[in-house]
Amino acid sequence: MSDTVTAPQLTSSDLANNQRAIAYFSEHGCNTVGTAFALARILHDDKCVAEASHVYRTAYDLHSEYPDQAPGPHVLLVLRLLCGMMAGQSPAEAELKTLRALSIPFYNYVTGIQAAWIQGDLIKAARIIKNCYEEFDTGSECDRLCLEVMNRLYHAKMENGIADSRISTAQIPRKIYMYRSREASAGVERNFEYHRNFTGLEIRIFNEEEAPEWLYSVCGVDARMLFFSARNASEASNIFRMHAIQQLGGWWLGTDSRIRSEDIFFSRLSQRHSHVFMLNDENGVHNEFFGSVAGSPVIEDALLSIYRNFYLHHDLAIAQKTGSGVLERALNRTFHADFERIRPMPSLITYGNATFHEVIEIASVRD
């Protein structure tokens, strides 16, 4: 690595003919760590992973090795190796050796994913990965890739881990909670009315004025202060939903989400587990629709991440800071604690994106 290298002469083909990447390279070039990293992120985000891997390597080669230059060399190298594996390439031993010298948790992350993807050994992957996601912000790609491994490993155990039906509090209440902001459109109101007509599920809708007073009464002053500190209505809703589900137990439903029918809800989703979560195609958690009992250790962990993010990472993207990211981290910690025999996993089941769309449709709420 060095402070400067010859600026790479990248062609459109080198950039996967990606128009965003081509435009960025034409304007900014790729001769500093910052420009190379930004270019690689564009390619990475647009799923041009082979090309992203190459540009991440360029950013790594440009790095000065000074500790205050961000992102650090270990970050650039781990991204290069992960994108390479996504493109079907095996990590080079020399680069793995270099990564291990830079950061053992990052090395464990890459070699664990390698064990899962290339060797097909999920147990080995879980042993290697451990809790390396703790090195990253909640809701990072690391959370989703680790969750992919553990979700596959625990598939059978989750299906068999039904709650004790003799204990009423062990099963998710047949109650749905929603949140109405001041800016709720006529379409949102129609969605509320649609769900009020359900007969097998009780619906409760909290409005923006009621929510902070409920938080103050039930959860205390810190919860209300957190709610008032939200950057926008979406973040306020994220904060409120976790507190509400943790205290009341039930199902959370986003304002633009619509349960297709009660019959589908009851037939497609387990009514015998204490937690139900849906994962999208990238193994992120759908936080607009999930179910949990009250007093959940999973939701408690998600709340812990929300408070931590507010005090330490206030400018983090909302989805990572208070949304799906905190649930992804909570599930990873839940799986890890069970795998390492720190504490047993609660009754929990996950479903894939196909099931989510079988049960939920995105309602037209704009007008």
Mean pLDDT, contiguous 10-residue spans, the chain (367 residues): 63 94 94 95 97 96 88 96 96 97 96 97 98 97 98 96 88 96 85 96 96 98 97 95 98 96 97 97 97 98 98 95 98 98 97 98 68
| pLDDT value, residue 356 | 98
| pLDDT value, residue 322 | 98
| pLDDT value, residue 187 | 86
Pinpoint the residues of the chain covered by CATH 3.90.550.20.
157-362
Pinpoint the residues of the chain covered by CATH 1.25.40.
19-134
Domain formed by 19-134, architecture: Alpha Horseshoe (1.25)
The sign of the dihedral angle between the CA atoms of 259, 260, 265, 268 is: negative
Q: Residue 163 in contact with residue 347, Cβ under 8 Å?
A: yes
| pLDDT value, residue 65 | 84
| Residues 338, 57: Cα–Cα separation, whole Å | 36
- Pull the structure tokens for residue 62: 């440009």
Q: How many residues does the chain have?
A: 367
- 224: how many CB neighbours lie within 10 A of its CB? 20
- Pull the structure tokens for residue 325: 């990211």
| pLDDT value, residue 45 | 95
| pLDDT value, residue 165 | 83
- Pull the structure tokens for residue 164: 């004790």
Domain formed by 157-362, architecture: Alpha-Beta Complex (3.90)
Q: What does DSSP say about strands 275-278 and 349-351: parallel, antiparallel, or unpaired?
A: parallel
| pLDDT value, residue 142 | 97
